[in-house]
Amino acid sequence: MATAYVSKRFPVGFQPKTEDAIQNGSLALASTMSAIAENQHWLGMGDLDLVNFHQGLDIEGPVGALSNLWNGLTYPKTLTLNIPPFHQYAAFHFLVCRDYLLASPTLSGNGIKIECATSTSYINNITFGEDFASTAKPAFDISNFGWVHAATISETAVTGEQSALKLNSTASETWTTVDVTITLGTGVYCLAAAYHLLPNQAGYTVTV
Amino acid sequence: MANNQDAAGKFRPFIESDFKPHTYIRSGNDTVHYYKGVRDMAYNNNTLMARAKHPIINQVDSPQTATTIAGTTSPLAFAHYVVWTPSIPGRDTIDVTVTATCPGVRFQVRGVTPAGTGSYSAASSVGGSTVTCVVPVTTGTFQAMTLEFKLSAGGNFLPTKIYSVQTDISTTDIGTTANTRFVPQDSTQQYAIDQPFTVDMVRDLNKTNNNLFSRNIRCVHNWSFWGDWTSVISSNKGISRAYTADTANKVHVSQLYYLPRPGVTRLVVFMAGRTHNYGATAGESWITFDDETFGGGNFTTATTVTTSGSWAVWQSDIDVPTGVTGPLLLNLSMKTPGVGTTTCLQSLSIWEDPNTVKI
């Protein structure tokens, strides 16, 4: 077995070769072949998704109501991630607000729960918020919303607070899909949400 | 028959001992030590052409925030997206997977694009489940796609997830076609041990790399209001903004998260919706791009709704700031200065522009 490595060029990654470098009569350089192989490596393993998967409806509009936002009283959302070969981690980002009328978001003590078959991550540092019940100010103020993240990769802590979600315990040689379910705690309102796949970390190796 | 590793499309990563300077270039693949030879690169070339993809649509909603749509056995449009796929030979369809509930009945979905009307998916389970339809697309061009559903009998339809990617093709089929951008490696003996390899072979490998880099761009956001589309486009549904007395300022409605992909210099934005205008002043919707990393740039594109009561699609471009390594936040803002006017955004697609990717 041999060990593949993750290019230190990540996330810049791709290093184009122009056709001028590959002309008749040119030398068959190992460096040219190496560059092509590395670029294939980036296209297969380093060209990672960034997807905004949720867009809340305007709650002030004609169809608007606070309940139109994804919140802790609605059902969990399950989305599908397409992950490339030998890939393992995804970071999640939420534009959220917390209702200050509640002492703390309640989801077993956590604000947002992100889970798949392999691991579970939590976000419980939602410090943004407003008093939705107050009549003294508008029911909806986007300035009170802020982004929270689950994006930290730890070699040891697969499950934990604010960790990127580990999607696979065993890296696949092909493109695969993983379903991820997200649950908001009571009092948490989500206006928008996104995920992006994280490049494998320096030192991360795969056996081929 | 292509020169493939296998039909499953396994990808062979780069190995640190591959193609070191002052070493021989291996022609065949080394099945003992797994050092990469040019034959492995041919495998990877075809695997990338057959399998590399980004999501085209990935939208979720939850039953309590989605709109239940009354349906019958006749097709009914319920979502509108803009789709794009690279022009890889043979990959001229997309898979659209829809998860929905429909109490007491079954549902089927299909997609309609300028390339044609796709076949209906298989029927869901009674009460709803996840089904997939295959939709024809014209590769290499942005195009609108409308999704339709029909029920096995009258009832309600409640979509909760729509996911779409370009359809995989067999790595053993990819070798049968080529175009000016992508050339499969298609000779079984081309990269065999002790066979010479030519400049053209290397050039074709490089061509696929460069074109995948520039053409296999990502969809940043593909959002559609879900509802009876005939009704949606003639009513004030979606992300809406009523008239505000403060006509000078836009109202910040939402925000999107973006990390630039290498080489991408521009985003293409498609917005669809309507303005309902009782007065003489047209509504407007705006989208702005703020660079959080550098404390706020000013990359603004304005789109104006000019015709009262009509539904339209508008396209705008937004330049991606250069030198950015951190996240960018795409602010969605709206302004509705006309008295009695309501502006409604009902579909929003944001794509990296494949025509301005820097190689």
- Assembly ipTM: 0.88
Residue B256 is inside which H or E element, if any? strand B251-258
Q: What is the mean pLDDT of chain A?
A: 74
Candidates B17, B41, B60, B67, partner chain A, best to mutate (most A CBs within 10 A): B60
Q: Is A77 in contact with B348 (Cβ distance < 8 A)?
A: no
pLDDT confidence of residue B149? 98
Q: Cβ–Cβ of A95/B45 closer than 8 Å?
A: no
pLDDT of residue B305: 47
A22, A43, A69: residue with CB nearest B199: A22
How high is the pLDDT of residue A134?
54
Residue B15 contacts A, CB cutoff 8 Å: yes
Determine the pLDDT at residue B292.
44
Quickly state the pLDDT bin for A109 (edges 50, 70, 90).
very low
Residue B193 is given by DSSP the state T
B197, B27 Cβ separation under 8 angstroms: yes
The span from the CA of B181 to the CA of B202, in Å, is 14
Q: Which residues of B touch A74 (CB under 8 A)?
A: 62-65
Please tell me the predicted confidence (pLDDT) of residue B293: 39
Tell how strand B130-136 and strand A50-55 pair up.
unpaired
A104 or B356, higher pLDDT: B356
Q: Do B13 and A60 touch (CB under 8 A)?
A: no
Which pair of structure tokens corresponds to residue B50?
Answer: 């057959």
- φ, ψ for residue A207 (rounded to 5)? -100, 130
Contact between A51 and B213 using a beta-carbon 8 Å cutoff: no
Please name the residues in contact with A96: beta carbons below 8 A apart, sequence gap of 6 or more: A111, A112, A126, A128, A145, A146, A147, A148, A184, A188, A189, A190, A191
* DSSP, res A75: P
Contacts of B295 (CB under 8 A, 6+ apart): none
Query: B44 and A31 in contact by Cβ < 8 A?
Result: no
Neighbouring residues of A179: CB distance < 8 A, sequence distance ≥ 6 = A78, A79, A80, A81, A116, A117
Within a 10 A sphere around the Cβ of B1, how many other Cβ atoms? 10
Q: Nearest chain A Cα to B346, which residue?
A: A57
Residue in chain A lying closest to B220 (CA): A51
A10 pLDDT band, cuts 50/70/90, is very low
Q: Which residues of A touch B161 (CB under 8 A)?
A: 77-80
Sheet holding B284-290, edge to edge: B251-258, B328-335, B284-290, B299-304
Residue numbers in A near B252 (CB within 8 A): 142-143
| Mutation choice for B interface testing from A40, A74, A189 by most B CBs within 10 A | A40
Q: Give the pLDDT band of residue A91 (cuts 50, 70, 90).
A: very high
**Contacting B residues, span 185-224, partner chain A, CB-CB under 8 Å:** 197, 199, 202-203, 205-207, 209-210, 212-213, 216, 218-221, 223
What percentage of chain A exceeds 90 in pLDDT?
19
Question: Would strands A129-130 and A120-123 be described as parallel, antiparallel, or unpaired?
Answer: unpaired
Q: What is the pLDDT of residue A5?
A: 44
In chain B, what residues touch A31 (CB-CB under 8 Å)?
19, 21
End-to-end CA distance of chain A: 6
- CA-wise closest residue to B111 among B145, B74, B83, B76: B145
Residues of chain A found within 8 Å of residue B238, distances taken between Cβ atoms: 57, 61, 63
Chain A residues closer than 8 Å to B14 by CB: 4-5, 7, 37-38, 40-41
> In this complex, do A30 and B207 lie within 8 Å of one another by their Cβ atoms?
no
**What is the pLDDT, as a whole number, of residue A50?**
95
Encode burial over B311-339: b for 16+ CB neighbours within 10 A, e otherwise. beebebebebbeebeebbbbbbbbbbbbe
Which among A30, A63, A75 has the least Cβ separation from residue B63?
A: A75
Chain A interface includes B287 (CB < 8 A):
no
Put simply, whether B66 touches A (Cβ < 8 Å) is: no
Q: Please tell me the least confidently modeled range out of A1-10, A112-121, B164-173, B252-261.
A: A1-10
Nearest-CA distance from B213 to chain A in Å? 7
> What is the pLDDT, as a whole number, of residue B245?
67
Smallest Cβ–Cβ distance between A173 and the set B10, B58, B64 belongs to B10
Taking only residues 102 to 131 of chain B, the set having a beta carbon closer than 8 angstroms to any beta carbon of chain A reads none
Alpha carbon distance B6, A63 (integer Å): 52
- Give the number of other Cβ atoms within 10 Å of residue B115's Cβ: 17
The rounded distance, in Å, linking the Cα atoms of B278 and B338 is 8
Taking the whole predicted model, whether its pTM rises above 0.80 is answered as yes
The pair of three-digit structure tokens given for residue B146, joined into one six-digit string: 């409308």
Q: Which of the residue ranges A29-43, A54-68, B152-166, B179-193 would you say has the lowest mean pLDDT? A: A54-68
Of the pLDDT bands very low, low, confident and very high (cuts 50, 70, 90), residue A151 is: confident
Could you tell me which of B36, B277, B59 has the C-alpha nearest to residue B163? B59
Nearest to B20 among A30, A63, A95 (CB): A30
The minimum CA-CA distance between A69 and chain B, rounded to whole Å, is 7
The pLDDT profile of chain B, 359 residues, written as one tens digit per residue, is 233 455 667 777 776 667 777 777 766 655 555 556 777 788 888 889 989 999 999 999 865 566 789 999 999 999 999 999 999 988 999 999 999 999 999 999 999 999 999 999 999 999 999 999 999 999 999 999 999 999 999 999 999 999 999 999 887 767 667 788 787 776 556 666 667 777 888 888 888 898 999 999 999 999 999 999 888 877 778 887 776 666 556 677 788 899 888 888 888 888 887 766 655 555 555 555 554 433 333 334 444 444 445 566 777 777 887 776 678 888 777 766 666 677 778 888 999 999 988 87
Task: State residue A138's pLDDT score.
Answer: 47
